[in-house]
Amino acid sequence: MNAPPRRLTLDDWDARYGDLRRAGLREPSYGGPLRRHVADGDHRLLRLQFDNSAAALRLWNFLLTEEDRLHAARAEGRRIVGAMKDLGTVPVMAYSLPGVVAFYPDGAWWTPCVMEMSDELLAVADRMGIDETFCPVRAMLGAFVTRRHFPIPDLLVCSAGAVCDDFSAIAQRLNGLGHPILWWEAPHRSEPEPDEEAVPLPGGGRAPRAQVAFLESELRRVGEALGRLAGTDLDDARLADGIQRANGIRRRLRELREACFTARVAPLPALELLIAEMLAIHFCSDLEEAGAVLDDLLDEVRRRVAAGTGFGGADAVRVYWVNPVADLRMMNRLEAAGGRLCGTEFLFSHALDGIPEDVPCWEALARAAAADPMAGPARDRAARIARDAAALGAEAVIVSRIPGASHCATEGGVMADAVRAAAGIPAVEIEVPPLSDAVAAQVSTRMEALFETARARRGCGT
Amino acid sequence: MPLPSVIFASSFVPPEWIEAHGLRPSRVAPRAAGAVEREGLCPFAGAFAAAADGPDVAAAVFTTTCDQMRRAAEIGGDGGRAERFVMHVPSTWQTPAAHRLYREELGRLGRFLVRLGGHGPAPGELAACMERREAMRDEVLARRPRLTSRAHGDLAMRFHETGVLPPASDTVPASGGSPLMLLGGPMRREDLGLFDTIDRSGGCVAVDGTESGEREWPRRFDRRRMGGDPAGELADAYFGHIPAVFRRPDSGLFDWLAAALRATPVRGIVVVTHPWCDAWRAEVPRIRDASPVPVLALDLAGAGASAGEGSTRVEAFLEALR
């Protein structure tokens, strides 16, 4: 069952799946061959290369059956929360309550890629005036209009304030279409004034205590709404327990990341690592199962690290990747160009950092929300990236630019400059559309040039 | 010696507050020429970022009323010449906590102004500034019927930038064409050419609902509340009442639109948006749905060929309205 690590096409996976079954593979209820998802419209799978482990199979099946899970939850009478924008905070509260499931409709931004535009979500958004000048998250609007994907949530909760304009504008359109939204304020994280009391944040930053107190009051307001939805209060005991369980997922992910980033040879492909990290934000609609999926992955990674096996060889250029990619295939391309991941910051580092368990639970969650990299200045985000990139031995930094995103016009340059200045690491910005095939040659050439530069620096001792 | 100038572009930064702290407020209409240009960057934000490094600027106040402007504060980074202050203007408005947060942000801005060389408002100073500014806003509106659209646009811009008004004898005869409402984002100096186009094409701006216009002025101050708590009254007049597009929800904008159309009948609406302005571009279809009169959506692309194309579209729009 534990074959040496290898990249597989979907065709390869058909044979591998048969082998695994014959070898006694036991799968959860959502298991099965990856091929069946193509029949559901997930055509991008035909062009991806996958890890060959049973753990990766489980990860992919878990990811690609999320909509089924949400529809099943609705059928079972559970209440569904659509958390929007904050990436990692509201689901912690929602999963603290019995009978509540939360997910991010924002996740629809990958649908045009996974379905290779066949579902026309972007075309629907276009027809509503939300054109390609907006970030690919506009697919979410199409998903709400067509109702062909996730069930319409019982409660929509969206952060506003220090957020990207694309999402805020699209969520407002959604509101205008008759979907009520509970808005909560995420203030811009400001530098504490001289003599102002500040509190430490997960991940190393700090914020004025008054801002954290404000956030706490906003989260309590959201908590009250969630409690009404669940028919029971979100009290301190429940939230503290929910934080502990969320921290369990975050702890596993930190361990997985550390093992992958520090191993001599990458024990897990970049693509599967990206998918695994995504479990942090809303646990793919099942917190307990997300933990089991990650446990399997961790076991596989530990085995490979112990055996010194993996992908790409020890001379692959160590790349720190910034921002999520709209096209999953970019992760394959990174490795094809001679790189490997040694660090990532997919815009939700605050969903990976542990939520403090030594302060009152509401304040702890507020501190976690305040640490959102989107809420603060780009220079804060850049400083952490530069620090982590240096600590992880990154040889190159790629800032993946999200087409149309309001934050990408300025922050990419700020971050690339900071990384070059602070860590002396070469950095480039690369724009990745939902389907990057048309620009694949150009993107690969840029990555190869970056990696050449990085390799040349090895000899110079820089 | 002239007071140091504190520039800003958002209507949620009360000039009265800066003035009462002993500094010179200037709400600028930045120039397109010389703006910072980057792929995906809002031209207005790029223009304001460049203005922030202007020669007479002591500090620039950026607000969170849009993500592009919030992030434009970091253009130039620490190498920026003038001090930069990012003021969080809450997007939510339906809770007392949001109002308190705005008031606290005014307090934080005030402490920044003091560190910049200003002083805390002396007793009565803030109220006096509020009375003076309000009287000038009234005067700006009162002069509209006697001015061409362009002349009135210039007058309003000059008032916002300098806090003074030229004598009324500067007036230029009004054009008296088809009345239009302008709606949309903020105007750069060069964008005022749109007013010329409207005048030339047989129209006139009867309501300026852009972010530079009277839609984003505070409500009239309550003299009684001003006496007891001028800062509270100031905060409520601005934050509590300006119907801005970034508000969540933004129902106030549409309430304002309905009320403004009832109060001032217009023949059409011209919605102006900057490239990459998500907030306004997303609302254009809703504005069309809500409007009883024809709507023209116009990209404020700046000078050059696209400006010519914009003029042609405005001319055609006005011709169709006749």
Task: Indicate yes or no: CB of A176 within 8 angstroms of CB of B70.
Answer: no
Average per-residue pLDDT for chain B:
93
Question: What CA–CA distance (Å, rounded) separates A107 from A110?
Answer: 6
In a domain, A65, yes or no: no
Question: What CA–CA distance (Å, rounded) separates A10 from A34?
Answer: 7
User: What backbone torsions phi and psi does residue B25 show, to the nearest 5 degrees?
Assistant: -80, 140
Report the residue of A137, A221, A410 to disrupt the B interface, i.e. the one with the largest count of B CBs within 10 Å.
Answer: A410
Confidence of residue B303 (pLDDT cuts 50, 70, 90): very low
- pLDDT of B172 reads 64
Length of chain A as a residue count: 462
- pLDDT of B275 reads 93
**In terms of CA atoms, which chain A residue is nearest residue B108?**
A193
- Among A75, A128, A132, A126, CA closest to A101: A75
**In terms of CA atoms, which chain A residue is nearest residue B249?**
A172
**In terms of CA atoms, which chain B residue is nearest residue A133?**
B276
Helices A287-307 & A54-64, crossing angle to 10 degrees?
A: 150
Contacting residues of B for A193, CB less than 8 Å apart: 108, 111
Whole-Å CA distances, A289 to A56, A93, A178, A249: 14, 18, 33, 10
User: Contact, A216 vs A367, CB < 8 A?
Assistant: no
In a domain, A32, yes or no: no
Contacting residues of B for A184, CB less than 8 Å apart: 92
Residue recorded with tokens 């930069």: B84
- pLDDT of B310 reads 84
pLDDT at B174 over 70: no
pLDDT at B200 over 80: yes
Contacting residues of B for A409, CB less than 8 Å apart: 38-42, 68, 71, 276
Task: Indicate yes or no: CB of B278 within 8 angstroms of CB of A181.
Answer: no
Q: Work out the minimum CA distance from A75 to partner chain B, whole angstroms.
A: 31
Contacting residues of A for B86, CB less than 8 Å apart: 188, 190, 377
Task: Indicate yes or no: CB of B71 within 8 angstroms of CB of A410.
Answer: yes
Provide the 10 A C-beta neighbour count for residue B166.
Answer: 13
Task: Indicate yes or no: CB of A410 within 8 angstroms of CB of B74.
Answer: yes
Residue-wise pLDDT tens for chain A (462 aa)? 788 999 999 999 999 999 999 999 999 999 999 999 999 999 999 999 999 999 999 999 999 999 999 999 999 999 999 999 999 999 999 999 999 999 999 999 999 999 999 989 999 999 999 999 999 999 999 999 999 999 999 999 999 999 999 999 999 999 999 999 999 999 999 999 999 999 999 999 999 999 999 999 999 999 999 999 999 999 999 999 999 999 999 999 999 999 999 999 999 999 999 999 999 999 999 999 999 999 999 999 999 999 999 999 889 999 999 999 999 999 999 999 999 999 999 999 999 999 999 999 999 999 999 999 999 999 999 999 999 999 999 999 999 999 989 888 889 888 888 888 888 999 999 999 999 999 999 999 999 999 999 999 987 655
Asked if the C-beta of B54 comes within 8 angstroms of chain A's C-beta atoms, the answer is no
Contacting residues of A for B285, CB less than 8 Å apart: 128-129, 173
| Ordered domains of chain B (ranges, CATH) | 5-115 (3.40.50.11890), 125-321 (3.40.50.11900)
pLDDT at B305 over 50: no
The first and second tokens of residue A35, run together, are 């091929």
DSSP state of A267: S
Report the residue of A128, A156, A188 to disrupt the B interface, i.e. the one with the largest count of B CBs within 10 Å.
Answer: A188
- pLDDT of B304 reads 43
Confidence of residue B173 (pLDDT cuts 50, 70, 90): low
- pLDDT of B107 reads 98
- pLDDT of A2 reads 80
- pLDDT of B171 reads 57
Preceding amide of A180 cis, omega within 30: no
A293-333, pLDDT tens digit by residue? 999 999 999 999 999 999 998 899 999 999 999 999 999 99
**In terms of CA atoms, which chain A residue is nearest residue B275?**
A133
- pLDDT of B56 reads 86
In a domain, A51, yes or no: no
The tally of domains found in chain A comes to 1
Burial category of B40 from C-beta neighbours within 10 Å (exposed 0-12, middle 13-18, buried 19 and up): buried
Asked if the C-beta of B286 comes within 8 angstroms of chain A's C-beta atoms, the answer is yes
In a domain, A207, yes or no: yes
**Structural domain boundaries enclosing A347:** 71-457
A255-274, pLDDT tens digit by residue? 999 999 999 999 999 999 99
Q: Number of A:B CB contacts under 8 A?
A: 138
User: Could you say which of B70, B92, B111 has the minimum Cβ distance to residue A160?
Assistant: B92
Report the residue of A406, A407, A420 to disrupt the B interface, i.e. the one with the largest count of B CBs within 10 Å.
Answer: A406
Task: Indicate yes or no: CB of A409 within 8 angstroms of CB of B98.
Answer: no
- pLDDT of B1 reads 58
Task: Indicate yes or no: CB of B101 within 8 angstroms of CB of A185.
Answer: yes
The first and second tokens of residue A150, run together, are 């996730």
The first and second tokens of residue A177, run together, are 């279409």
Q: Work out the minimum CA distance from A424 to partner chain B, whole angstroms.
A: 18
In a domain, A404, yes or no: yes
Question: What CA–CA distance (Å, rounded) separates A297 from A300?
Answer: 5
User: What backbone torsions phi and psi does residue A396 show, to the nearest 5 degrees?
Assistant: -155, 150
In a domain, A49, yes or no: no
- Residue B92: beta bridge partners? B248
In a domain, A18, yes or no: no
User: Could you say which of A161, A214, A417 has the minimum Cβ distance to residue B91?
Assistant: A161
Report the residue of B248, B254, B288 to disrupt the A interface, i.e. the one with the largest count of A CBs within 10 Å.
Answer: B248
- Residue A429: beta bridge partners? A399
In a domain, A61, yes or no: no
Find how far residue B236's CA is from the centre of its chain: 18
User: Contact, B197 vs B39, CB < 8 A?
Assistant: no
Contacting residues of B for A417, CB less than 8 Å apart: 77
Task: Indicate yes or no: CB of A169 within 8 angstroms of CB of B278.
Answer: yes
pLDDT at B306 over 70: no
The first and second tokens of residue B93, run together, are 């408005």
